[in-house]
Amino acid sequence: MSTPNPYQPDTSISRPQRQVVLAYMAVTGLVLLLMMVAGLLMRMSQGEWLNLSPDWFYKLLTLHGTGMVGIAGVAGAGIMWYFLRQYVELSLAIAWTTLILVLIGVVLILGSIFIGNFASAWTFLYPLPARPMGAWGNGAATAFLGGLLLVGVGFLLFYLDSARAIIKRYGGLGKGLGWPQLFGHNDGNAPPPAVIASTMVTIVNSLGVTGGAIILVMSLINLHVPSFTVDPLYAKNLIYFFGHVFINATIYMAVIAVYHLLPRYTGRPWPSSNKAFLAAWTASTIMVVIVYPHHLLMDFAQPVWLHVTGQVISYTSGLPVLAVTAYGAIVNVHRSGIRWDLAAGLLFLGTFGWAAGIIPAMIDATVVVNLIMHNTLWVPGHFHFYLLLGMMAMALGFMTWLVRTYGGLADGALARAAGWLYVLGGIGFVGMFLVSGRDSVPRRYAEHLESWVSHGQIASVFALLVILATTVFVVRFLAGLGRAARAV
């Protein structure tokens, strides 16, 4: 068996094309660190190690949530673009346009929070943006909602371009998902994982972002024409539909890096032209779109069939992840003789974080459990598990691989230590969220009861470890960025 070379540059992607991906990942690294610091400050405040006033706490909450969701989208888009571009003709101009629109949106959002004192949380639940009790003005709310709309438009352009390119190359989105091989004779010629995953994400996120745009526009109109009102339950459905699809899709984008990079380390291909793989991705396409009602299980007035859908689909949507991606990673790695490095370790960790994080998520989606867990810190516990230890681990693994492959930046002892620190800090940090959820600690609380203060303190220590590790990853990435961008 020949020794695999995981650092073979991809010749099917040109230097300008690589540069746009590097830009996406550089923005990801920088914003990620800043948002992590915001998260640490909030946890320290809850642990009474820092005296944040409630208005600052909720401004940081809004910043952290919006920033992290946005940056997960940017990171996922960067990964998707890098691998998808090797099979279809994506537009470089649109990739840059998306990034620029996102950054303009970010400036508006930052202005709304730090100049206008906007603090509705990233969920901007209607009609809170228009009912702040004097805490912020209509201008700030307009800047925030408008900024978010601009970010959404940027991403919509990105997905429309992906759809165009996939349809042009494969003849339709169904073919991009490998339906001829799934539902007919499997000739072994289904598209590669990057195309299948990108097709799925393109479908779900085009719908999700459009749903988000609808409620954003309606909220904007309501801000300036108060007589124009929206049904709050309908608004909540649209917000959580958009929010869930968007953040969920970031993991399905990031996992493309696992499918395409892990085999380069193990020497074992990750075949996509088998019915289990294709069925899993088609099932996920449907389930990601219809699973969002599990966010509204405590809205008793919602039709009961939607509640039941929320629980049933939440349970079943974990199956493709466990059976295809997590198990596929296990089969790919088991007794492969892999030579681990930081990138491979983070990619493998990412599949673990996703698989393990699904468990508390599925349990929370049980209506009778949600009755005592909803909006406690159990919720950020499970989503930080599969975002911090799952999605973001995959993104950081991809970034590390990029600067290793194109920038020649090899791992040292510090990088390896940072990898283990990330695991330790990450598990401790999200573990404390779950412990807090078990102990009924509410989420989004500027001030905690005495019995909850120690939770925040322990979590802050673990958060600091995560930030230290992430700082090493990001600094290494930035150190190798110039060479990676210039490499022929």
Partner 1 sequence: MLQNTVWLMTLIGMGFVTAVYLYVFMRSTQPADSDAVKKRLYGIRPWWFVLLVGIIIVALSITLGRLPYADTHARAATAPDMTVEVTGYQWYWIVSESTLPVGTDIAFQVRAEDVNHSFALYDDNDQLLVQTQAMPGYTNIVRHTFEQPGTYRIMCLEYCGLAHHAMVTELTVTGTDNEQGERR
Which residues in the 342-371 window bind partner 1 by CB under 8 A? 348, 352, 355-356, 359-360, 363, 366-369, 371
Which has the closest alpha carbon to 261: 269, 273, 253, 249? 269
Is 238 a binding residue for partner 1 by CB under 8 A? The answer is: no
Is 121 a binding residue for partner 1 by CB under 8 A? The answer is: yes
Is 335 a binding residue for partner 1 by CB under 8 A? The answer is: yes
Please state the closest distance from residue 438 (CB atom) to partner 1, in A. 4
Please state the closest distance from residue 322 (CB atom) to partner 1, in A. 7
Residue 487 contacts residue 9 (beta carbons within 8 Å): yes
Out of 66, 123, 282, 470, the residue judged to bind partner 1 by CB under 8 A: 123
Please state the closest distance from residue 236 (CB atom) to partner 1, in A. 7
376 forms beta bridges with 442
Residue 51 contacts residue 158 (beta carbons within 8 Å): no
* Residues 100-119 close enough to bind partner 1 by CB under 8 A: 119
Residue 418 contacts residue 465 (beta carbons within 8 Å): no
Is 434 a binding residue for partner 1 by CB under 8 A? The answer is: yes
Task: Closer to partner 1 by CB, 15 or 334: give it.
Answer: 334
Say how far apart CA 41 and CA 463 lie, in whole Å.
Answer: 10
Please state the closest distance from residue 249 (CB atom) to partner 1, in A. 23
255 forms beta bridges with none
Task: Closer to partner 1 by CB, 307 or 476: give it.
Answer: 307
Q: Give the chain's length.
A: 488
Size of the site for partner 1 (CB under 8 A): 80
Binding track, positions 129-148, relative to partner 1; x by CB under 8 A:
--xxx-x-------------
Which has the closest alpha carbon to 95: 105, 82, 106, 104? 82
Say how far apart CA 110 and CA 99 lie, in whole Å.
Answer: 16
Q: Torsions phi, psi of 482, nearest 5? A: -60, -50
Q: Where does residue 134 rank: exposed (0-12), middle (13-18), buried (19+ CB within 10 A)?
A: exposed
Is 486 a binding residue for partner 1 by CB under 8 A? The answer is: no
CA distances from 227 to 130, 177, 222, 235 (A): 12, 45, 7, 16
Is 375 a binding residue for partner 1 by CB under 8 A? The answer is: yes
Which has the closest alpha carbon to 154: 77, 211, 97? 97
Task: Closer to partner 1 by CB, 307 or 404: give it.
Answer: 307
Is 283 a binding residue for partner 1 by CB under 8 A? The answer is: no
Is 453 a binding residue for partner 1 by CB under 8 A? The answer is: no
Is 48 a binding residue for partner 1 by CB under 8 A? The answer is: no
Task: Closer to partner 1 by CB, 17 or 332: give it.
Answer: 332
Out of 35, 373, 387, 388, the residue judged to bind partner 1 by CB under 8 A: 373
Please state the closest distance from residue 266 (CB atom) to partner 1, in A. 8
Say how far apart CA 119 and CA 121 lie, in whole Å.
Answer: 6
Residue 254 contacts residue 350 (beta carbons within 8 Å): yes
Judged by phi (left if over 0) then psi (alpha if -120 to 50, else beta), residue 449 lies in: beta
The set of residues, in sequence order, having a beta carbon less than 8 Å from that of 323 and lying 6+ positions away, is 276, 280
Please state the closest distance from residue 172 (CB atom) to partner 1, in A. 30
Please state the closest distance from residue 121 (CB atom) to partner 1, in A. 5
Out of 30, 50, 221, 323, the residue judged to bind partner 1 by CB under 8 A: 323
Q: One-letter amino acid identity for 338?
A: I
Binding track, positions 207-236, relative to partner 1; x by CB under 8 A:
------------------------xxx--x
Q: Torsions phi, psi of 230, nearest 5? A: -125, 145
Which has the closest alpha carbon to 192: 297, 90, 100, 84? 84
* Residues 288-317 close enough to bind partner 1 by CB under 8 A: 296, 298-301, 304, 307-308, 311-312, 315-316
Is 424 a binding residue for partner 1 by CB under 8 A? The answer is: no
* Residues 53-92 close enough to bind partner 1 by CB under 8 A: 54-55, 58, 61
Please state the closest distance from residue 256 (CB atom) to partner 1, in A. 21
